[in-house]
Structure 1
Amino acid sequence: MAILPTEPEFEQAYNELATTLENSTLFQKHPEYRTALKVSAIPERVIQFRVVWEDDAGNLQVNRGYRVQFNSALGPYKGGLRLHPSVNLSILKFLGFEQIFKNALTGLSMGGGKGGADFDPKGKSDGEIRRFCTSFMRELGKHIGADTDVPAGDIGVGGREIGYLFGAYRKDRNKFEGVLTGKGLSWGGSLIRPEATGYGLVYYVDLMLQHMGKGGFAGKRVAISGSGNVAQYAALKCIELGATVVSLSDSTGALVLDGAEDSFTPEDISAIMSLKEKRKAITEFSGNGKHRYIAGARPWVYVGKVDIALPCATENEVSKEEAEVLVRNGCYVVAEGSNMGCTQEAIDLFEAERQTKGSSAIWYAPGKAANCGGVAVSGLEMAQNSQRLRWTREVVDERLKDIMKDAFEAGLKSAAEYVETKEGELPSLVAGSNIAGFIKVAEAMHDQGDWW
């Protein structure tokens, strides 16, 4: 009932959550939660609007803009804005639905939402992007606010776009408030915010490794997809902790290291950051001869033996066939830096391996838990804005670590309580995280009369 036949991404996200709830003992112990799931699957509000702007040649252009305000039971709607030609209502509903439970796992007062437009910033001038952002915010600004809905960046929306959007809101609404996160440091931004998703992902995986008895990152081989913000800072943190990073990628293809001892270096990552700031592809990364470029490919089947795989690009970027290769090559941790980075078939494979191979199995962590560090520091930015303060880098980083630990332990606790696990079997982080986030949201909705 909550899903339209033209919404495949949302259907996938909904089914992934609903299936894990059904396969646990949650509904047996609390059958009333079925009603909560039914209610929470429908957004509180969907806003769609046209965005009319002028290109550099003086021609009128028009795009579709959206904001899905999915659930506000835990706080103001919170979630990114995506600018990409693929943006449609199904993708934004899937992202917003995931965001509800991801935000719940942070323990902060944030609801879930998502938005964006089918505008492509690639190849556009600064002036064109500024004019688009001004027009986009002219409509979006009617529906957001520091205590109502606080968007952030996502694919296609970086510091430049956040600046243009915030400036348009400030001038149009005559308010300087924490209405967006990811802001510049001199006008309300937070330290560690650019790094937060990538750093948080690595902190989460470190907790997984410790729980498995495999130590930390030192000496581990790590495959990473993507080369944007999440991948960049995940790679830098892995390298800092002593790991060997063997791959990065973008929409044009993958960069893979051939030598068993070779690793991307901080200098390599810095060079790739510079390319991405200029909206250039990794094909222009020269490197030092260690890197093999594979056009049109994702890295998973080319990286050889790896210990850890971190999908950090986009949704459904690890297929069942690629998952099988990772398993054969000895990978024992897969954690999503992207949202819904693995297909359902890949997740099913990882979960089957976890259930049959005991402590030697591959362990999968879903994005709503493993990549919640980004929105967590967005929440910390909101707190700093409310106090008109800026915390130190060390304070924000420590709070990020604590939040990732709480999210990890919440998943373990809920899995132990509601998921049948054999002796020696690793707990299901996907089921545990889904249940922990869902219960928190469902209880808040019940207390506020959204279901009874």
Structure 2
Amino acid sequence: METHIKKVLNNIEECSPGQEEFYQAVHEVLYSLVPLLEEDEKYDIHNILERITVPERTIIFRVNWIDDNGKIQTNLGYRVQFNSAIGPYKGGLRFHPSVNLGIIKFLGFEQIFKNALTGLQIGGAKGGSNFDPKGKSDNEIMRFCQALMSELYKHIGERNDVPAGDIGVGAREIGYLFGQYKKLTGEFEGVLTGKAINWGGSHARKEATGYGSVYFADNILNKYDKSLEGKICTVSGSGNVAIYTIEKLYDMGALPVTCSDSKGTIYHEKGIDLNSLKAIKEINHQSLEVYAQVNPDCIYTPLSHYPEGRHMAWDIPCDIAFPSATENELNLEDAKRLVANGCMLVNEGANMPTTPEAMAYLKENNVFFGPGKAANAGGVTTSQLEMSQNASMAKWTFEEVDDKLRQIMRNIFNTAYETSKEFGCEGDLIAGANIAGFRKVADSMIDQGSV
């Protein structure tokens, strides 16, 4: 079976050169499937590994937009519709200079299994652009979004592909994208999630990924007769995921002491001042340097003062670490520091934030681990709940959505845990999540034939 997996990986590298993040994601999933693949030969008979690692459709297009000086600018737009075996494509749009085809394929591949784990009927996709919203005016962002949607609208729809937000795409961008879609199609439909409450959005969508991450961590701890109460937590990032991870940690009695952005990291021993953080990041869109000015009792470490590839947050003694920023932000050296400082759980709020070497080291040292496919699923869960509300012309309260989110995160944990137990690796939530998500999608692919 491992020979077969190596062959699949070699084929991917030959057909998709230079897509390192995609290789990493596929490698992690396929090798964790070995117990399932050896138990049931139908996945080999139906060539599932070869099929599931190739997108059903990859769309790449030019986006021309006009800046405030009247000059035409050009970016690349992407939509990778990876797998629709269990439902319409679902996955966010990311606007960031680092976006390329390999990044989008890795995110789309992860999304297949994340979406399957929710128990909801949604397939996997991802998209975005190498456009950087930072430093752009509202009018420039609006014109870019309108230009991107002028091509993207041909490939999406409420029963086909329903994008959401991601890094660089919040309520403002979703509004501009939706407005252009409505203008081009003449349809007011639930084609995007993350919309404003007044025109079809769901309560708790902004909070969902962070809240869901904390709920998942709480389920892990509860399984071993522990809780979040009184735990010191380090969090990376300062976007929606990190902010609402911090908020929910306080609700659960924990103490979050760090956050970070692209310029540096804050360590606030008495606890992150949530009101300051929200004002600086959500309202004024400022650097965390401003947080340090407002809160002089904290320690601010610029990124330039730290070894390349390392993250200051993971040097802070903690009980639980929540990597909630971006891929591969927690490496082997970080993992060693976390273990040395007594960290009991690493819970991934971002997509693939832990390198393979770091994951292996944490496992060797008996650190509980919440994989992003499971722990990060709160956002897409609430996106699908938004789709359900749109379809039924209903509006649920914040409490109703939050209750559904909490229950789904519990179900995801139970599914991953029970699957790990079924295949003789009890408590290995990476294997449990991968096998459970893969099995649901693969069985659906077999049912539907050779499409």
The separation in 2 between residues aligned to 1:450 and 1:378, in whole angstroms, is: 30
The CA deviation at 1:33 is 1.9
Cα distance in structure 2, aligned partners of 1:71 and 1:210: 34
Q: Quick one: which of 338, 342, 350 aligns to 1:338?
A: 350
* 1:310 alignment partner in structure 2: 322
Q: CA deviation at 1:5?
A: 2.6
1:153-302 equivalences under 5 Å are 153-214=165-226, 216-257=227-268, 259=269, 262-274=270-282, 277-285=283-291, 286-296=293-303, 297=306, 298-302=311-315
Deviation at 1:235, TM superposition (A): 0.1
Q: Tell me if 1:54 matches 2:66.
A: yes
Q: Which runs of 5+ in 1 are unaligned?
A: 354-360, 422-426
1:268 maps to a residue whose letter is S
Provide the secondary structure at the position in 2 that maps to 1:115. strand
> Residues 222-272 of structure 1: CA distance to partner in whole angstroms, max 9, x if unpaired?
000000000000001101211111100011110012x4xx11133233333
> Which residue among 34, 37, 48 is the counterpart of 1:27?
37
* CA–CA distance in structure 2, aligned partners of residues 38 and 405 of structure 1: 32
Displacement of 1:288? 2.4
Q: Say whether residues 1:65 and 2:97 are aligned partners.
A: no
Q: Deviations over 1:158-190 (max 9, x none)?
A: 110000000000011110000000000010000
The equivalent position to 2:404 in structure 1, one of 393, 399, 402, is 399
Q: Is the 8 A contact 1:236 1:266 kept in 2?
A: yes
CA distance in 2, matches of 1:28, 1:288: 56
Provide the identity percentage.
51
Q: What does the per-residue CA deviation read over 1:371-420, in whole Å, with 9 as the maximum and x for residues that have no partner?
A: 10000000000000000111111111111011101100010111011134
Counterpart Cα distance in 1 of 2:350 and 2:274 = 22
Could you tell me the TM-score, scaled by structure 1's length? 0.93
How big is the shift at 1:278?
3.5
Is 1:99 equivalent to 2:111 in the alignment? yes
Deviation, structure 1 residue 348: 1.0
Distance 2:24 2:211 in 1: 27
> Match of 1:357?
none
Measured after TM superposition, the shift of residue 365 of structure 1 is: 1.2
1:118-139, Cα deviation, whole Å (9 max, x unpaired): 1111111111111110010000
Within 5 Å, give how 1:321-336 maps onto structure 2. Answer: 321-336=333-348
Q: Distance in 2 between matches of 1:287 and 1:450?
A: 60
Q: 1:133 to 1:181 in 2, by over 3 A?
A: same
* Matches of 1:87 and 1:420, distance apart in 2: 35
2: CA distance, partners of 1:278 / 1:450: 51
Superposition RMSD in Å: 1.2
What residue in structure 2 maps to residue 356 of structure 1? none
1:383 is the counterpart of 2:395? no
TM (norm. structure 2) is 0.93
Q: 1:287 to 1:242 in 2, by over 3 A?
A: farther
> Is the 1:256–1:302 contact (alpha carbons within 8 Å) kept by the matching residues of 2?
no
Structure 1 contact 315–340 (Cα < 8 Å) conserved:
yes
Number of aligned positions between the proteins: 430
